[in-house]
Structure 1
Amino acid sequence: MEGNQLFPVFIKLNTIHTVLIGAGPVGLEKLAAILSNSPHAHVTVIAIDVLPELRELASAYERVEIIQKEFSPEDLDDADLVVAATNNVALNQQIRVESDHRNLLVNFADKPDLCNFYLGSIVKKGDLKIAISTNGKSPTIAKRLKEVLNDGLPESLNDTLGNMEALRNTLNGDFAEKVKKLNEVTSILVTEKKVDKVKKNFKWLIWTSIVLSFIIVIAAFWHKEPEFQTYLTQLDPLFYWFLIGGFVFAMIDGAIGMSYGVTSTSFSLAMGVPPASASMGVHLSEILSNGIAGWMHYRFGNVNWKLFRMLLVPGIVGAVVGAYLLSSLEHYNHYTKPIISVYTLILGGVILSKAYKINRKQKNPKGKIKKIGLLGLFGGFIDAVGGGGWGSIVLSSLIAGGRNARFSLGTVKITRFFIALMSSLTFITMLNGAHWEAVAGLVIGSALASPIAARVSNKISVKTIMVSVGVLVVLVSLRSIISFILKEF
């Protein structure tokens, strides 16, 4: 018969005993898939060699047991389900024969002919779970479809499920009447969606803001700094260093969602730019780069609009106050520079610590962070004073508080655009001079990287980048601090 003849079922693994044979990379993948979908599953792992990563994963779950030995038929006596993750042909045949004798369902990794059930790709949105099957023909296609559904289904869908359950429990009448009512409520899910006016007009808002902000910035520069005109025709070699730096820092920021401010500020301070001018350069460059990045995330549907509204105003207020205070202390930059270097040193350590926690399973995760306004206010203020930290503080706090990483990243990028715009205008109003070659290099370099970074963010090893960035920031910050101490003493 043609077509997919498989019958899909969802198994309560917490009520049965699963035996996993093999503890190598494939065994690790199978165990991770089982536990991610059923954390309370009762699993016995049998293998001669056990991968350290698998042992570490199993240690986090009370009902997972590892028995380090050769497989024997008796291992299946009390099994209800069998998963084989070995590349031993003879052993696989033995497992299939012994499973058939005991009427057990068994799955073999990359051996569809031996299987009598498959492990499909899973899309999970809270209580909603979708299994994808290609009839064993192409796991790669299943994974790609999983990515499409993960991106296409909104995170709020789980809230909708909760609301539907509450509605169902309040309905009276017979079964047919309940079904009719629920169909009416859910019909919006399959009809053409009405586009929110805020979302529909956002592209005009952000592009208009970009154009107007640069008109204001260039006009202010031209009026307040006659030397700015010469930089348009005679570029200092420093420009090219900051052009390269801006591009690299924006690519890093696009990959991990943070560190553009801290890396750019550390680099600027090391190149002799005063703290206030360094922060102004960073924020000016972030107007265009974050405008483009925000637009890209908007196009990809990576924005939580409620979170956006909660962060925006407090973030702007904090940024303006921070920019005002730092500009007022520009004449004391000899003393503020080491303070900012200490701040970037701390952020470098934070980035390093986060790099080594990426793959660790968080036990007993806390609920979502509630005080979004205070987080935005604090993040905006520290970001303006230190030349960076919005991503490190706000994005990290949102993700650590249990919010979706992709939507948090997109929302933080969009709010960052408006915060960078307002803090930049504050710096321009307050400062009498700036290092325009550094500003121009950061602006152009980061703008060139932004659309690229938004697309490649999922194709780079985040841990490697974060370790490299953390080490670099720590070393540069230490250099600035040590230089200050040697000059003073």
Structure 2
Amino acid sequence: MKVQAVNINDSKNGHSTIASVKERNNLYPIFLKAKNLNVLIVGGGFVAEEKLTFLLKSSPDAHVTMVSPMFRADTVALAKTGFVTLVEDVYKKDYLKGKHIVVATTDIPNVNIKVYEHCRKRSILVNVADNPPYCDFYMGGIVTKGNVKIAISTNGKSPTTAKRLRQFFEEVIPENIDDLVKNLNVFRKTIKGDFEQKVETLNEFTKGLIAKREVK
């Protein structure tokens, strides 16, 4: 957690004092069923391809439309691996119809801001790449091991840190974690009692899964 020192003017004695302000991440994490949503990516360059790669890696069944006057060859190839529609055209607000999530990635700031403003008027979640003030959400680092998924966010301040944390968790979380999750799901269905009793039993049963490791 970052601690930032700021000057606060003391009206009583005219002197400045130092106060510590702790920053925290106030974003609310959710896991979306992308296959039930319609996603629009505005742009066809490197950033657009990066966003599409990120989305399809996490949700291969996502339904995506990309709008741009041109598309890179790699983007065209990537689009063929999923449910992606490429539209060669300049952005128009009509393309927002029926969309739930929009990502603007063009290299023309005015176009990106226009996309943001149009989305806000229509209550559509929007992300303008590399421009936090114009984002309703961020696309952070993700670790996936079968049914287990961990999302990492640095509040839009350091994507590189999110990347390193992702690499760390990919190494730490065992590959057989998915077998454990599936077995626990089967075990959960055999537990007798009400909801509270089932939770207590599962908590006791899984207590040994998290143990403090001695740092060497």
TM-score, scaled to structure 2: 0.86
SS at match of 1:130: strand
2:27 aligns with 6
Cα distance in 2 between the residues matched to 1:168 and 1:193? 27
Bigger CA radius of gyration: 1
Confirm whether residue 112 of structure 1 aligns to residue 151 of structure 2.
Answer: no
Instruction: Give the superposition deviation at 1:24.
Output: 1.1
Aligned pairs (5 A) from 1:210-225: none
Cα distance in 2 between the residues matched to 1:141 and 1:189? 27
Confirm whether residue 136 of structure 1 aligns to residue 160 of structure 2.
Answer: no
Structure 1 residue identity aligned to 2:75: L
Confirm whether residue 176 of structure 1 aligns to residue 196 of structure 2.
Answer: yes
SS at match of 1:113: helix
Instruction: Give the superposition deviation at 1:49.
Output: 1.3
1:71 aligns with 91
Structure 2 residue identity aligned to 1:39: P
Instruction: Give the superposition deviation at 1:7.
Output: 0.7
Structure 2 residue identity aligned to 1:21: V
Q: Which has the higher helix share?
A: 1
SS at match of 1:117: coil
Aligned pairs (5 A) from 1:160-171: 160-171=180-191
2:75 aligns with 54
Cα distance in 1 between the residues matched to 2:209 and 2:182? 15
Instruction: Give the superposition deviation at 1:193.
Output: 6.5
Instruction: Give the superposition deviation at 1:142.
Output: 0.4
Aligned pairs (5 A) from 1:11-160: 11-61=32-82, 63-160=83-180
Aligned pairs (5 A) from 1:402-417: none
Aligned pairs (5 A) from 1:246-285: none
Structure 1 residue identity aligned to 2:199: V
Structure 2 residue identity aligned to 1:41: A
Cα distance in 1 between the residues matched to 2:104 and 2:171? 31
SS at match of 2:174: coil
Structure 1 residue identity aligned to 2:112: N
Instruction: Give the superposition deviation at 1:191.
Output: 2.1
Cα distance in 2 between the residues matched to 1:193 and 1:186? 16
Instruction: Give the superposition deviation at 1:181.
Output: 1.1
Cα distance in 2 between the residues matched to 1:132 and 1:60? 25
Instruction: Give the superposition deviation at 1:85.
Output: 1.4
Instruction: Give the 4+ runs in structure 1 shifted more than 3 A.
Output: none
Cα distance in 2 between the residues matched to 1:2 and 1:82? 28
Q: RMSD of the alignment, in Å?
A: 1.4
Aligned pairs (5 A) from 1:335-354: none
**Alpha-carbon distance change, 5 to 192 in structure 1, aligned in 2, over 3 angstroms:** closer
Equivalent residue pairs, number:
193
Cα distance in 1 between the residues matched to 2:156 and 2:212? 34
Instruction: Encode CA deviations 1:300-345: one digit per residue, 9 max, x unaligned.
Output: xxxxxxxxxxxxxxxxxxxxxxxxxxxxxxxxxxxxxxxxxxxxxx
Identical aligned residues as a percent: 39
Cα distance in 2 between the residues matched to 1:4 and 1:193? 27
SS at match of 2:132: coil
Cα distance in 2 between the residues matched to 1:172 and 1:4? 39
Instruction: Give the superposition deviation at 1:40.
Output: 1.1
SS at match of 2:119: helix
Q: Which has the higher strand share?
A: 2
Cα distance in 2 between the residues matched to 1:180 and 1:60? 44
Structure 2 residue identity aligned to 1:147: Q
Structure 1 residue identity aligned to 2:126: V
Instruction: Give the superposition deviation at 1:2.
Output: 3.5
TM-score, scaled to structure 1: 0.39
Instruction: Encode CA deviations 1:411-465: one digit per residue, 9 max, x unaligned.
Output: xxxxxxxxxxxxxxxxxxxxxxxxxxxxxxxxxxxxxxxxxxxxxxxxxxxxxxx
